[in-house]
Chains A and B, each alone.
Chain A
Amino acid sequence: MDLKLDHRTEDGLTIVEVEGEIDVYTAPRLRELLIDLVNKGNFHLLVNMEKVDFLDSTGLGVLVGGLKRVRAHDGSLELVCTQERILKIFRITGLTKVFGIYASVDEAKEAHGKDK
């Protein structure tokens, strides 16, 4: 499956919907989207990974790159993910300590609202 990307803004949070496989072939498209969003002043990003079938270290690198970019603007990049096979990759690499990971978009929005 290819990669499908979409985004919308709700309550000051830019939600990036990702569907499909994030690997060495498709990750550049996600990188371009994240860079574009940051360049347009969107510094609070929530990446919804619930429809991601596959994620490798290239994809992790893109997410870390996005995090570095938003942090340069005092922003945030958090994730929605409940799939065990995807969470496992974050655990192996220690990235569960780097990203806020939520069970749903609503949960993330609520947490983001409290942080304001």
Chain B
Amino acid sequence: MATVELTFSALPAHVRTARLVATAIARRTGVEESLLDEVRLAVGEACSRAVEAHRAHCPGEPIRIELRDDSGRFEVTVSDQAPSDEIKPEQPLDLGMLSDPFATGFGIAVIAGLADDVEVFPSPKGMRIRMSWPAAPNGRLPV
């Protein structure tokens, strides 16, 4: 099992860096090219949500991402330290409900629609979002 860990300050500018790192490692782990856009977007959503939560609750604390190559799966875990609001990923779409700064449940809904496998662990000490995609069993796919 190979693991890459990344921590970053809760700044919107760093979300792009996190996306790029996750996509690069997904490619190296052997995630199919056709899934890389989904990895990029889902990791970006999870990091954006974490940045917004930290900026509201604990701007000085870092956000942590673990990227793991685990027996044929590429697994990403994004952990924040902000108290989680109640999550309602199955909320029906209501135009009036959607705020234009950021809609937390909306981001989670996008992740759920993109990742092959998603688990969300909210807690008073922060939220952990674990998502994974199929990867080549021994890392990089043969060219």
Tell me the A residues contacting B by CB distance below 8 Å.
21, 23-25, 31, 54, 56-58, 60-62, 64-68, 85, 89, 92-95, 97-98
Tell me the B residues contacting A by CB distance below 8 Å.
12-13, 15-16, 19, 37, 40-41, 44-45, 48, 51-52, 93, 95, 98-103, 106-107, 109-110, 113-114
How distant is A70 from chain B, measured CB to nearest CB, in Å? 12
- Which residues of the other chain, B, contact A61 by a CB distance below 8 angstroms? 98-103, 106
Q: Are B37 and A92 in contact (CB under 8 A)?
A: no
Q: Are B51 and A92 in contact (CB under 8 A)?
A: no
Q: Are B99 and A23 in contact (CB under 8 A)?
A: no
A72 CA to B98 CA in the complex, in Å? 15
Given contacts A23-B44, A68-B95, contact A60 B12 (CB under 8 A): no
How distant is A94 from chain B, measured CB to nearest CB, in Å? 4
8 Å CB contact of B107 from A56, A66, A94: A56
Q: Are A23 and B16 in contact (CB under 8 A)?
A: yes
Q: Are A89 and B93 in contact (CB under 8 A)?
A: no
Q: Are B15 and A24 in contact (CB under 8 A)?
A: yes
How distant is A115 from chain B, measured CB to nearest CB, in Å? 20
Q: Are B103 and A57 in contact (CB under 8 A)?
A: yes
